[in-house]
Amino acid sequence: MSPFLLTRTLPEDATDAALRADVLHGLTHTPKTLPPKWFYDAHGSELFDRITELPEYYPTRAEREVLIARAPEIAATTGARTLVELGSGSSEKTRHLLDALPGLHTYVPVDVSESALTQAGQALIAEHPELGVHALIADFTGGLALPGTPGPRLVAFLGGTIGNLLPAERATFLASVRALLSPGDTLLLGTDLVKDESVLVAAYDDAAGVTAEFNKNVLHVVNRELGADFDPDAFAHVALWDDEHEWIEMRLRSLTEQTVKIPALDLAVEFADGEELRTEISAKFREEGVRRELGAAGLDLAHWWTDQEGRFALSLSVAR
């Protein structure tokens, strides 16, 4: 059986330090913001798994449809010997690629969660005993160094997660990905597409209220980790479409004038009645925009595939 290697590139206290920095920065600026990565503690991850099964939330199903249909073509085009997945989580979707890549030597899942990496990596080795798995505990948005593995390399960034980054952040991120690649290596990118506003808003404001609970989970995380006294019931979930920027925003709207204390930061945060805290953007894309952003980073879009309804795209780009 091939070995499972786990490398930590984040200091043990990196998560706590990052949370403190993000909360301090985001809650002392106008408008107030918190990054969406803090949704995902164990409970938040469970809630997101439930969201992906909701009738309103199409992206996961649409991306899976494309991945299953195009995995053989992706494998034939890339000839990848190393597959790197950024934000791998459970590696569930990646299995479609692994099954289609007969010449694959090494799988490199990258995630901040050691438990998720260990669980997924050991399961994959059981399914693919010929495969080497070298997991990295790392924050892929903060620069990344990959282990020495054979090329060609295929980097996968799925789920439409790139939409959580602001345009300048996307440019920095794509440039950092290109820096990991040699000419001829490839990037497989999942992007949710611009579509009717009602479809988009419903995907982020489901009738069952699961997304609302998921949105408020960030307050529970700050309470638990930093001793804050947020009352989640004093905030309402808001999802809206920004037509100018072509992104969905998730916000938490204060239902009253209130003061939230965060003892770990020696901070008191004032909220006006109706004031909104932005917790996520989720940009939606068009093919020409994706091509332009990839090109600016030194990546040439070679293939563009969508599901049958044209809701979600996978693109394969080649490093110059």
CATH assignment of the domain containing 295: 3.40.50.150
> Is residue 64 included in any domain, yes or no?
yes
> Is residue 88 included in any domain, yes or no?
yes
Beta strands in the chain (DSSP E): 4-8, 82-86, 106-111, 132-137, 153-157, 186-192, 235-242, 247-254, 258-262, 267-271, 276-283, 299-306, 312-319
Q: Which residues pair with 280 in a beta bridge?
A: 250
Q: Give the per-residue pLDDT at 88.
A: 85
Q: Give the per-residue pLDDT at 116.
A: 81
> Is residue 256 included in any domain, yes or no?
no
pLDDT greater than 80 at residue 90: no
Across 97-114, average pLDDT: 90
Q: What is the pLDDT of residues 261-307, one digit of tens each?
A: 999 999 999 999 999 999 999 999 999 999 999 999 999 999 999 99
pTM of the model: 0.94
> Is residue 15 included in any domain, yes or no?
no
Under a CB-based contact definition with an 8 Å cutoff, are residues 149 and 108 in contact? yes
Q: 179: alpha, beta or left, given left = phi > 0 and alpha = psi -120 to 50?
A: alpha
Domain boundaries, position 120: 57-195+286-319
Q: Give the per-residue pLDDT at 194.
A: 98
Q: Give the per-residue pLDDT at 2.
A: 56
Q: Give the per-residue pLDDT at 188.
A: 98
Q: What is the pLDDT of residues 219-266, one digit of tens each?
A: 999 999 999 999 999 999 999 999 999 999 999 999 999 999 999 999
Number of Cβ atoms within 10 Å of the Cβ of 143: 12
* Packing angle of the helix pair 210-226, 42-51 (nearest 10 deg): 170
Q: Give the per-residue pLDDT at 142.
A: 76
pLDDT greater than 80 at residue 111: yes
Q: Give the per-residue pLDDT at 296.
A: 98
Q: What is the pLDDT of residues 156-165, one digit of tens each?
A: 999 999 999 9
The average confidence (pLDDT) of the chain is: 94
The residue to which tokens 């990118």 are assigned: 189
More confident residue, 44 or 34: 34
Question: How many residues does this entry show for the chain?
Answer: 320
State the DSSP string of 97-154.
HHHH-TT--EEEEEES-HHHHHHHHHHHHHH-TT-EEEEEE--GGG-------PSSEE
> Is residue 304 included in any domain, yes or no?
yes
Number of domains comprising the chain: 1
> Is residue 275 included in any domain, yes or no?
no
Q: Give the per-residue pLDDT at 141.
A: 81
Q: Give the per-residue pLDDT at 45.
A: 86
> Is residue 30 included in any domain, yes or no?
no
> Is residue 91 included in any domain, yes or no?
yes
Under the banding of pLDDT at 50, 70 and 90, the label for residue 92 is confident
More confident residue, 145 or 208: 208
Q: Give the per-residue pLDDT at 1.
A: 42
Under a CB-based contact definition with an 8 Å cutoff, are residues 163 and 247 in contact? yes
Q: What is the pLDDT of residues 121-152, one digit of tens each?
A: 888 888 888 899 999 988 888 778 899 999 99
